Amino acid sequence: MAEMRAILKQGTSVRVKRVPVPEPEAGEVLIRVAVAGVCRSDVNAALGLLPCADPLVLGHEFSGVIAGLAPDVRGFAVEDRVSVMPLIPCMQCDRCADGETECCPYHECLGFRRPGAFAEFVTVPARVVHRMPGALTFREGAYAEPVCSSLGVLKAEIKPPDRGLVHGADRTARLTERVLRSYGFTSLDVRGTRTGEDLAGRIPPDTYDFVVVSEPRGEILDEMIRVVRPGGRIIVRGRPLEPVPIDLDAALRKEVTLESVSYGTFAESLGFLSQETGTISDLLGSVRPLEDFEDVFSAESESQRLKSFFCPNFAAIGTDEIEAWGRLMGPGG
């Protein structure tokens, strides 16, 4: 049986280990992973802070090349350059029936409930696979999932020229700001503070029509209630590890709408990346081999300023193959 290298979580241990290359089952494709992005959720899963399968190959944001297909798969071919939506929809619920598969509440996620992309190969259902536009690099293609998440903010009941605040100190907040500006939100502030107390006294009350919160914590939500206008909206797009307290009395007095969002559409995220590559290139960091995972995970825990990536085939890929694959990295890689 053919083997591959992968970052495997097993109990409290995380290491690079040789595991069998998966075989595509009915409706699935086998993808040779080119680039896989590192998210704080991956690190939290590695640390045991998020529930997940065990043992488990980590990783959920990636792009690559189709290396094999189940006999029943149509519409793809070997060597297609692809990016993948890592949430596998149930295809049974009302959301799925309405075509909103990115927001299926009963999904399985790669790298959490089924083997992920910090590996040389991964199998996924063909229905979550998307061909990459020719102009995109693999690094940009691996960033499509975070973009898809930021696009979810546009589903909230907001519109230009509403005045908004994006709160957060990480690249997620910076990406969300750029998504909003690209869709016409010009009256927009960004506060890079990490605690609600840092804003106290610096922003007058009732300043904003809406605020977007990337790091929902009790003190931050309370401060957002203070700075949003009566009848305004607080849009939550981060996933906390623990329950978050909120001052409901203050929210009720101002009739604030608290709204949660998850994803836009994956096709729209690839379109955004094709048109707005220059606006996100400074958020993309270096590409590292799998064996550097301890350093990469540690850096991600300390700062989310730049997106780091793994190239599972780092040692084996030469310049000629990178060029044949349509460029591994873009500017700043």
pLDDT band at 324 (very low <50, low <70, confident <90, very high): very low
Mean pLDDT across the chain: 90
pLDDT band at 316 (very low <50, low <70, confident <90, very high): low
Average pLDDT estimate for 51-78:
97
Output the pLDDT for position 319: 38
pLDDT band at 301 (very low <50, low <70, confident <90, very high): confident
Tally of CA atoms within 13 A in the half-sphere of 263 that contains its CB: 22
Please check the confidence at residue 246 and state whether its pLDDT lies above 80: yes
CATH class for the domain made up of 3-149+265-324: alpha beta
Domain positions in the chain are 3-149+265-324, 157-260
Fold designation for 157-260: Rossmann fold (3.40.50)
- For 202, phi then psi, to 5°, come to -95, -25
Which pTM was predicted? 0.91
Output the pLDDT for position 328: 45
Output the pLDDT for position 317: 53
